[in-house]
A and B are shown apart, each in its own frame.
Chain A
Amino acid sequence: MGSDATAIFDAEAAQTMMKELRAVYGSGATKSYDWRVSQLSQLLKLIEYHEDDIAAALRSDLSKPDIESYVYEIGVLKSSIKLALKELRKWMSPEKVKTSLISFPSSAKIVPEPLGIVLIISAWNYPFLLSLDPLVGAIAAGNAAVLKPSEISPVSSALIAKLVREYMDSSTIRVVEGAVAETSVLLEQKWDKICYTGNAVVGRIVMAAAAKHLTPVLLELGGKCPAVVDLNINLQVACRRIIMGKWGSNNGQTCVSPDYIITTKANAPKLIDALKTELEKFYGKNMLESNDLSRIVNSNHFARLIKLLDEDKVSGKVVYGGKRDESILKIMPTILLDVPRNSLIMKEEIFGPLLPILTVDRLEDSFNIINSGTKPLAAYLFTNDKRFREHFVTEVSAGGLVVNDTTIHLGVLTLPFGGVGDSGMGSYHGKFSFDAFSHKKAVLYRGFVADADIRYPPYTRKKLRLLQALLGGSFLTIILALFGRN
């Protein structure tokens, strides 16, 4: 059975847990195909039988609309598990690689093997997805795992702990609930991989802790994801897609939400009008009362967002929205125009329902704005201009790019999902999840035949010539060298 939910998780408890996990992992239990399939199947059952409980937990923690829970957490998780079940044998099988004259005769392959015991620390905005999707990769790759869900979504965290205890193999898969103290204790242990989803400040702490044990890390962080909007596009479709990526994704509290928009001065009024129209179509006139928008997760974040909105040089730039109700932790979709570049709202990741629009004279100027900041997790471009599009794709560095939409690349499981620079390191989803939790071991087979003396001492000039021919030369020079003609 898993640990008693009310017991304190201190250093001693952590060390005991690690010892237990290492013993079971060392016995080879998690390496078999059957174990992995059984755990993945259990995970699928866990989700399928508790969809309503999951949606209820998300409603409690985040006031998340049911459809968002279904689409972004339950639906994606189910696809992910089903893909892993379908592809597992292929992923697990060694990959044969060609060998050359240098090691002749030989054969070689790359064999994926689990890393060992992995730690998965997840964020509060998609509590089920961000803890269980990495778990899919960890299990598929044959690891034991410990989950540390976020305490900022406590009902979800408790449900994850309860369901994992009920459905999964508790000798190898555990959940530790808690906050800073418990996370610190966990980070002191020696893990074989740590997967962290959250912000860059804690990301640094996680990597520094990992450095002590030479533990590799997968860091899924955030950043200010820009959306560049060009002229001569289907503005209505573009706005709908921007709205879905922003307010339709946990009300902007998503690492890949478009954080801010860049468009031309001439285009801005049309864009703002189109956004207003579509917003009211989706959410009605009284948006604070709409059930189709998540709330702000807690009063800390609410205060943080109000501070961004009410900053002196920013408050006058609101062109739509601005209404808020602290008692229900709601801020309505708000659009701002041309806030100063040095305002707080343009310096930190917004993570909320505020959308600044920056205007430029020429859209090409947007590249400088984007590249002057840290590399974001995603960047978006809405355009029909082929040349501009290709320029953007080459010039803008981000975890991922989407042209003419937002966030959908997360649903394409053949694309790696991860950041670069301050937005993270490593990637996952689909086979990339399996790879993220695997070590690709090189295996080389040689026979005892045909050993070239030239490899060994005593070293002579003749051997040197042969080596030069073998390593640096062509087939002909090798033949000539062997016959002593060089």
Chain B
Amino acid sequence: MEEGSGDLGRELEEMREYYVTGTTRQESWRRAQLKGLLRFVKENEDPIMDALGRDLGKHPAEAYRDEIGSSIKSLNYALDHLKAWMSSKKAKLPKIAILTKAEIISEPLGLVLVISSWNFPFGLSLEPLIGALSAGNAVVLKPSEISPICSSLLATRLINYVDAKAVKIVQGGPTIGEQLLRYRWDKIFFTGNAQIGRLVMAAASRELTPVTLELGGKCPAVFDRISSSFERKVAVQRVLGAKFSACAGQACIGIDYILTEKSLGATLVDTMKSMMEKLFGKNPKESRSIARIVNRNHFLRLKNLLDDPVVKATIVHGGSMDEHNLFIEPTILMNPPLESAIMTDEIFGPILPIITLQNIEDSINFINARPKPLAIYIFSKNSSLKRRMVKETSSGSVIFNDALIQYLVDTLPFGGVGESGIGQYHGKFSFDAFSHPKAVARRSFLVDLWFRFPPWNDHKLQLFRSAYEYDYLGIVLTVLGLNKPRGASSKV
């Protein structure tokens, strides 16, 4: 797609005209798009894995687990449920509203914009696309220029599997992003950081465009006492897997830092060190199991976080970096200062601070003193702590004894709250994110409550009181003249 602004405007107009023909609303069309996306993923597994390897250094297994397989799963789920999602929902009526039918019909919003991010370029483009297309919209996708090979693959290949009159993929950076935001959309779905999120919402406000913002934050993992050493090892494996093996920590739902009790700190670090070797070998740089830092900007950003001498002094494992290969060794810190940048900014990299607290319950206040994160992870067997965490903290989601896996559960809404985002998706929530639930009420011409019309008097007022209380006896008595109407204080 050309990047000249005149062309862009014209192409969007054509997309709108195509949307108005009603083609995208038909179930057969939606099904065809979803099947097209499924074929795209299945037929291009190798090019996708290759692109992710080149843009991000992801191993094919990681690429499959986090993006290819998850998209296949979501597409199959959408195809299975599409008919049910599209069907109207009957609304229960109170008895007084006889002869009225009421239902909620989901209709598409129109022409929608999806902006995805670079860390899971396929997954974070396909999941919102599934929602937009199953809901019957026309959609423009702008993948991230920071993962250019993936972005190019989407633009050149995915477009062949869908209806190109209703789906467009626009490549480019901030300039093209700004250009796109100047047009009128019926919905904008944005995945990225909070700073850009604010700009997207401000732009959307000009046209009263609703938004879903999937942002980030510092997702804590609370690590409680786990007496069984087997279970502790499982927990540590999950923590390390969630931190280091999903795009090397560059994930919005990745574990950002750990909270644990002072007395548990040393054991935790030891268990982590031995588990690290199991996962990444003696020389992690040789391991093909850690993704790269995406580019030099982010590499330097992370290097700066560690270069702070007070922070550097807290390294208990790792710390080596290779700028040429954009590689940072999985690194563990023990109690870096809370005011340091590494503890105030979202890390988005393979550096894991451990903060120790006097009591594990203190983690509740610690978390609540900070912006609401996208996810809170708790590794614990203590039922009362678990209950308190759900009740007393707020986050997009809460996961017990594992991490990241909520991303794969179609029945759970995926999204943030407060600074971590607005709106949710996945499964039916994706369909809803791109739909308008239209209320439809039908009446017949028969039977109107005669007291519905002026001229007004106390008698009619009394009948209204009874109607609103669903007090049928009261209505009958009043109509029969057996109920004395309660007088209003001033006569009309």
Contact = CB atoms under 8 A, between A and B. Distances in A.
Main secondary structure of the interface of A (DSSP, over half): mixed
Contact of A471 (B69, B213, B444): B69
Contact of B287 (A108, A216, A448, A458): A458
B213 A415 contact: no
B385 interface: no
B398 interface: yes
Nearest to B488: A66
Interface stretch (A163-171, A264-272, A320-328, A394-402): A394-402
Contact of B204 (A75, A207, A237, A411): A207
Interface string B325-347: 00000000000000000000000
Interface string A375-409: 00000000010000100010101111111110011
B413 A440 contact: yes
What's the interface size class on A, roughly? 35 or more
A67 B245 contact: no
Contact of B443 (A56, A210, A404): A404
Contact of A400 (B100, B204, B439, B489): B439
Interface residues of B, number: 111
Interface stretch (B152-160, B231-239, B353-361): B231-239
Nearest to B405: A103
A28 B365 CA distance: 13
B74 to A, nearest CB: 10
Contacts of B70: 471
Interface stretch (B29-37, B54-62, B163-171, B313-321): B54-62
A103 B405 CA distance: 7
A446 interface: yes
A444 B413 contact: no
A457 B410 contact: no
A85 interface: no
A221 B411 contact: no
B201 A211 contact: yes
Interface in A413-433: 413-417, 420-422, 424-427
A91 interface: no
Given A444-B412, A471-B65, A397 B454 contact: no
A338 B7 CA distance: 38
Interface stretch (A9-17, A110-118, A345-353, A475-483): A110-118
A141 to B, nearest CB: 13
A455 interface: yes
A419 to B, nearest CB: 9
A220 to B, nearest CB: 12
B401 A448 contact: yes
A97 B453 contact: no
A414 B93 contact: yes
B237 A470 contact: no
Given A208-B202, A400-B438, A214 B109 contact: no
Contacts of A472: 42, 68-69, 72-73
A291 B456 CA distance: 9
A414 B91 contact: yes
Interface stretch (B125-133, B256-264, B292-300, B389-397): B389-397
A440 B291 CA distance: 33
B102 A443 contact: no
Given A426-B210, A471-B70, 17 more contacts: A55-B490, A76-B468, A116-B394, A211-B204, A214-B418, A214-B421, A216-B422, A221-B208, A283-B454, A397-B107, A408-B443, A409-B102, A414-B102, A415-B102, A421-B186, A442-B413, A458-B281
Interface of B: 20, 22, 42, 59-62, 64-65, 68-70, 72-73, 91-94, 97, 100, 102, 104-105, 107, 109-110, 186, 194, 197-198, 201-202, 204-206, 208, 210, 213, 215, 228, 230-231, 234-235, 237-238, 241, 245, 279-281, 287-290, 368, 390-392, 394-402, 405-406, 408-414, 417-419, 421-424, 436-445, 448, 452-456, 460-461, 464-465, 467-469, 488-490, 492
14 contacts: A70-B461, A207-B205, A211-B205, A214-B419, A219-B208, A284-B455, A400-B440, A421-B110, A424-B208, A442-B396, A443-B397, A444-B397, A455-B65, A459-B60
